[in-house]
Amino acid sequence: MEVYDNEVATQGSAVGTAGNYSEEDHATWHRLCVRQSKLVKPVACREFHVGMPRLNLDFHRLPDRDLMERHIYGLSGWRLADAQNEYLGPTEWFEHIDAKRFPVTDYIRRPHELDFTPLPDLFHEYFGHLAFFTDPAFGDIAQRYGTVYLKARTEEQQLAIARLWWFGIEFGFVREGDELKVIGAGLLSSPGELLHALRDEVPKHPFDINQVAATPSAAYSYHDHYFILDSLAHWREAIDSYARQEGLDV
Protein backbone atom coordinates (compact mmCIF):
# COMPACT_ATOMS: atom_id res chain seq x y z
CA MET A 1 0.00 0.00 0.00
CA GLU A 2 1.31 3.41 -0.92
CA VAL A 3 0.82 6.51 1.19
CA TYR A 4 0.60 9.59 -0.98
CA ASP A 5 1.33 13.13 0.02
CA ASN A 6 -1.42 15.68 0.58
CA GLU A 7 -1.25 16.90 -3.02
CA VAL A 8 -2.72 13.64 -4.29
CA ALA A 9 -6.43 12.92 -4.03
CA THR A 10 -7.60 9.77 -2.28
CA GLN A 11 -8.45 6.97 -4.70
CA GLY A 12 -11.87 5.37 -4.42
CA SER A 13 -12.34 1.72 -3.55
CA ALA A 14 -11.21 -0.98 -5.94
CA VAL A 15 -13.07 -4.22 -6.47
CA GLY A 16 -11.73 -7.10 -4.41
CA THR A 17 -12.90 -9.74 -1.94
CA ALA A 18 -10.79 -11.04 0.91
CA GLY A 19 -9.67 -14.59 0.20
CA ASN A 20 -12.25 -15.12 -2.55
CA TYR A 21 -9.99 -15.25 -5.59
CA SER A 22 -10.52 -16.74 -9.02
CA GLU A 23 -8.03 -19.02 -10.73
CA GLU A 24 -7.26 -16.05 -13.00
CA ASP A 25 -6.31 -14.06 -9.89
CA HIS A 26 -3.99 -16.82 -8.68
CA ALA A 27 -2.47 -17.05 -12.16
CA THR A 28 -1.85 -13.28 -12.19
CA TRP A 29 -0.15 -13.52 -8.80
CA HIS A 30 2.03 -16.40 -10.01
CA ARG A 31 3.07 -14.58 -13.17
CA LEU A 32 3.93 -11.45 -11.21
CA CYS A 33 5.94 -13.33 -8.58
CA VAL A 34 7.94 -15.40 -11.06
CA ARG A 35 8.70 -12.52 -13.40
CA GLN A 36 9.48 -9.98 -10.70
CA SER A 37 11.71 -12.38 -8.78
CA LYS A 38 13.91 -12.71 -11.84
CA LEU A 39 13.98 -8.94 -12.40
CA VAL A 40 14.86 -7.99 -8.83
CA LYS A 41 17.39 -10.74 -8.11
CA PRO A 42 20.43 -8.79 -9.40
CA VAL A 43 19.29 -5.35 -8.24
CA ALA A 44 17.40 -5.72 -4.93
CA CYS A 45 19.07 -4.60 -1.72
CA ARG A 46 20.49 -6.93 0.89
CA GLU A 47 17.56 -6.48 3.30
CA PHE A 48 15.10 -7.67 0.65
CA HIS A 49 17.12 -10.79 -0.14
CA VAL A 50 17.39 -11.64 3.57
CA GLY A 51 13.73 -11.00 4.31
CA MET A 52 12.09 -12.74 1.36
CA PRO A 53 13.03 -16.30 2.45
CA ARG A 54 11.75 -15.47 5.94
CA LEU A 55 8.47 -14.28 4.46
CA ASN A 56 8.01 -17.64 2.72
CA LEU A 57 5.49 -16.51 0.10
CA ASP A 58 3.71 -19.17 -1.94
CA PHE A 59 4.14 -18.01 -5.53
CA HIS A 60 1.31 -20.27 -6.72
CA ARG A 61 -1.51 -19.11 -4.46
CA LEU A 62 -2.48 -15.67 -3.24
CA PRO A 63 -1.61 -15.07 0.42
CA ASP A 64 -4.05 -15.45 3.27
CA ARG A 65 -3.89 -12.23 5.31
CA ASP A 66 -4.60 -13.86 8.68
CA LEU A 67 -1.95 -16.55 8.23
CA MET A 68 0.60 -14.02 7.01
CA GLU A 69 -0.13 -11.72 9.94
CA ARG A 70 0.52 -14.49 12.46
CA HIS A 71 3.75 -15.35 10.66
CA ILE A 72 5.07 -11.77 10.58
CA TYR A 73 3.97 -11.08 14.16
CA GLY A 74 6.05 -14.02 15.30
CA LEU A 75 9.08 -12.64 13.47
CA SER A 76 8.92 -8.93 14.21
CA GLY A 77 5.86 -8.09 16.31
CA TRP A 78 4.09 -6.34 13.41
CA ARG A 79 0.46 -6.91 12.46
CA LEU A 80 -1.40 -6.39 9.19
CA ALA A 81 -4.24 -3.88 8.98
CA ASP A 82 -7.15 -4.06 6.53
CA ALA A 83 -6.80 -1.10 4.15
CA GLN A 84 -10.30 -1.69 2.72
CA ASN A 85 -8.90 -1.72 -0.84
CA GLU A 86 -8.39 2.01 -0.96
CA TYR A 87 -5.59 4.53 -0.62
CA LEU A 88 -5.34 5.69 2.95
CA GLY A 89 -4.82 9.32 3.80
CA PRO A 90 -1.37 10.05 5.24
CA THR A 91 -2.61 10.51 8.81
CA GLU A 92 -4.52 7.23 8.86
CA TRP A 93 -1.53 5.49 7.24
CA PHE A 94 0.97 6.74 9.81
CA GLU A 95 -1.41 5.99 12.69
CA HIS A 96 -1.22 2.35 11.60
CA ILE A 97 2.56 2.51 11.21
CA ASP A 98 3.01 4.08 14.65
CA ALA A 99 0.94 1.20 16.11
CA LYS A 100 3.10 -1.40 14.28
CA ARG A 101 0.34 -2.30 11.83
CA PHE A 102 1.12 -2.45 8.11
CA PRO A 103 -1.98 -1.77 5.94
CA VAL A 104 -2.67 -4.27 3.16
CA THR A 105 -5.43 -4.70 0.59
CA ASP A 106 -7.05 -7.82 -0.85
CA TYR A 107 -7.16 -6.49 -4.42
CA ILE A 108 -4.98 -8.11 -7.09
CA ARG A 109 -4.36 -6.20 -10.31
CA ARG A 110 -5.96 -7.28 -13.58
CA PRO A 111 -3.96 -9.36 -16.10
CA HIS A 112 -3.58 -6.38 -18.46
CA GLU A 113 -2.00 -4.34 -15.63
CA LEU A 114 1.02 -6.56 -14.99
CA ASP A 115 3.54 -3.79 -15.64
CA PHE A 116 1.85 -1.03 -13.66
CA THR A 117 -1.36 -0.37 -11.77
CA PRO A 118 -2.36 2.94 -10.19
CA LEU A 119 -4.74 1.15 -7.81
CA PRO A 120 -3.83 -0.19 -4.36
CA ASP A 121 -2.67 -3.71 -5.01
CA LEU A 122 -1.64 -6.60 -2.77
CA PHE A 123 1.31 -7.59 -4.97
CA HIS A 124 2.96 -4.29 -4.11
CA GLU A 125 2.36 -4.86 -0.43
CA TYR A 126 3.18 -8.54 -0.02
CA PHE A 127 6.01 -8.83 -2.54
CA GLY A 128 7.38 -5.29 -2.28
CA HIS A 129 7.06 -4.45 1.43
CA LEU A 130 6.59 -7.40 3.72
CA ALA A 131 10.03 -8.97 3.35
CA PHE A 132 11.39 -5.90 5.14
CA PHE A 133 8.87 -6.21 7.96
CA THR A 134 10.19 -9.63 8.92
CA ASP A 135 13.11 -7.71 10.48
CA PRO A 136 12.42 -6.07 13.88
CA ALA A 137 15.17 -3.48 13.28
CA PHE A 138 13.55 -2.34 10.05
CA GLY A 139 10.17 -2.26 11.76
CA ASP A 140 11.58 0.05 14.44
CA ILE A 141 12.72 2.51 11.76
CA ALA A 142 9.34 2.41 10.03
CA GLN A 143 7.54 2.97 13.33
CA ARG A 144 9.74 6.01 13.98
CA TYR A 145 8.28 7.64 10.85
CA GLY A 146 4.79 7.11 12.22
CA THR A 147 5.70 8.54 15.61
CA VAL A 148 7.31 11.67 14.18
CA TYR A 149 4.47 12.21 11.69
CA LEU A 150 1.92 12.18 14.51
CA LYS A 151 3.96 14.81 16.36
CA ALA A 152 3.95 17.14 13.35
CA ARG A 153 2.26 20.48 14.01
CA THR A 154 1.75 21.70 10.44
CA GLU A 155 0.63 20.27 7.11
CA GLU A 156 4.02 21.24 5.69
CA GLN A 157 5.78 19.03 8.24
CA GLN A 158 3.37 16.17 7.58
CA LEU A 159 3.97 16.46 3.84
CA ALA A 160 7.74 16.46 4.31
CA ILE A 161 7.64 13.30 6.46
CA ALA A 162 5.40 11.53 3.95
CA ARG A 163 7.91 12.36 1.22
CA LEU A 164 10.87 11.12 3.27
CA TRP A 165 9.00 7.82 3.56
CA TRP A 166 7.95 7.82 -0.09
CA PHE A 167 11.33 8.50 -1.68
CA GLY A 168 13.07 6.18 0.78
CA ILE A 169 11.21 2.94 1.32
CA GLU A 170 8.71 3.26 -1.52
CA PHE A 171 10.87 4.46 -4.43
CA GLY A 172 14.43 4.68 -3.12
CA PHE A 173 17.83 3.34 -4.05
CA VAL A 174 20.56 2.42 -1.54
CA ARG A 175 24.34 2.13 -1.85
CA GLU A 176 25.96 -1.23 -1.22
CA GLY A 177 29.68 -0.80 -1.71
CA ASP A 178 30.23 0.51 -5.21
CA GLU A 179 26.77 -0.57 -6.42
CA LEU A 180 23.31 0.98 -6.37
CA LYS A 181 20.61 -1.39 -5.19
CA VAL A 182 16.83 -0.99 -5.01
CA ILE A 183 15.23 -0.62 -1.59
CA GLY A 184 11.91 0.95 -2.61
CA ALA A 185 8.93 -1.41 -2.52
CA GLY A 186 7.22 0.50 -5.31
CA LEU A 187 10.14 -0.35 -7.58
CA LEU A 188 10.59 -3.92 -6.33
CA SER A 189 6.94 -4.67 -7.10
CA SER A 190 6.52 -2.74 -10.38
CA PRO A 191 8.03 -4.40 -13.47
CA GLY A 192 7.50 -1.29 -15.57
CA GLU A 193 8.80 1.36 -13.19
CA LEU A 194 11.73 -0.81 -12.05
CA LEU A 195 13.07 -1.03 -15.60
CA HIS A 196 12.44 2.68 -16.07
CA ALA A 197 14.25 3.63 -12.86
CA LEU A 198 17.27 1.47 -13.65
CA ARG A 199 18.00 3.33 -16.87
CA ASP A 200 21.28 5.26 -16.65
CA GLU A 201 19.70 8.40 -18.09
CA VAL A 202 17.09 8.63 -15.30
CA PRO A 203 18.54 11.02 -12.66
CA LYS A 204 19.33 9.70 -9.17
CA HIS A 205 20.28 12.21 -6.48
CA PRO A 206 21.76 11.90 -2.98
CA PHE A 207 19.07 11.62 -0.30
CA ASP A 208 19.14 15.16 1.09
CA ILE A 209 16.23 15.63 3.50
CA ASN A 210 15.39 19.16 2.39
CA GLN A 211 15.51 18.30 -1.31
CA VAL A 212 13.40 15.19 -0.75
CA ALA A 213 10.91 17.12 1.37
CA ALA A 214 10.45 19.61 -1.48
CA THR A 215 9.87 16.95 -4.17
CA PRO A 216 6.27 15.97 -5.05
CA SER A 217 5.49 12.28 -5.44
CA ALA A 218 4.09 10.75 -8.61
CA ALA A 219 1.11 8.55 -7.80
CA TYR A 220 -0.18 7.71 -11.27
CA SER A 221 2.94 7.76 -13.43
CA TYR A 222 6.60 6.85 -13.32
CA HIS A 223 8.89 9.22 -11.43
CA ASP A 224 11.32 11.31 -13.45
CA HIS A 225 14.06 11.07 -10.79
CA TYR A 226 14.92 9.14 -7.64
CA PHE A 227 17.03 9.46 -4.48
CA ILE A 228 19.89 7.37 -3.10
CA LEU A 229 20.29 6.40 0.55
CA ASP A 230 23.77 5.58 1.84
CA SER A 231 22.37 2.69 3.90
CA LEU A 232 19.22 1.61 5.70
CA ALA A 233 20.57 3.44 8.74
CA HIS A 234 20.62 6.59 6.60
CA TRP A 235 16.83 6.31 6.25
CA ARG A 236 16.60 6.32 10.07
CA GLU A 237 19.01 9.26 10.26
CA ALA A 238 16.83 11.17 7.79
CA ILE A 239 13.74 11.12 9.99
CA ASP A 240 15.78 11.76 13.15
CA SER A 241 17.48 14.76 11.51
CA TYR A 242 14.17 16.14 10.29
CA ALA A 243 12.63 15.71 13.76
CA ARG A 244 15.50 17.66 15.35
CA GLN A 245 15.38 20.31 12.64
CA GLU A 246 11.66 20.88 13.17
CA GLY A 247 11.63 20.52 16.95
CA LEU A 248 9.52 17.34 16.82
CA ASP A 249 11.72 15.35 19.20
CA VAL A 250 10.58 17.06 22.37
Nearest to 228 by CA among 175, 163, 190, 187: 175
How confident is the model at residue 14, as a pLDDT?
35
Residue spans of the domains in the chain: they are: 23-245
In angstroms, rounded to a whole number, what is the distance separating the alpha carbons of residues 247 and 250? 7
Lowest-confidence region among 11-15, 70-74, 134-138, 204-208: 11-15
How confident is the model at residue 86, as a pLDDT?
57
Nearest to 28 by CA among 52, 59, 2, 56: 59
pLDDT in tens, 75-113: 999 999 988 755 678 999 999 999 999 999 999 988 888
What DSSP string runs through 82-145? E-TTSPPPHHHHHHHHHTTEEEE------GGGSS--SS--HHIIIIIITTGGGSHHHHHHHHHH
- Sorted by sequence, the CB contacts under 8 Å of residue 14 that are 6+ apart come out as 85, 86, 105, 107, 119, 120
In angstroms, rounded to a whole number, what is the distance separating the alpha carbons of residues 104 and 122? 6
pLDDT in tens, 21-34: 999 999 999 999 99
In angstroms, rounded to a whole number, what is the distance separating the alpha carbons of residues 159 and 170? 15
Give CATH for domain 23-245: 1.10.800.10
In angstroms, rounded to a whole number, what is the distance separating the alpha carbons of residues 190 and 192? 5
- Indicate if the pLDDT at residue 10 is higher than 50: no
In angstroms, rounded to a whole number, what is the distance separating the alpha carbons of residues 4 and 88? 8
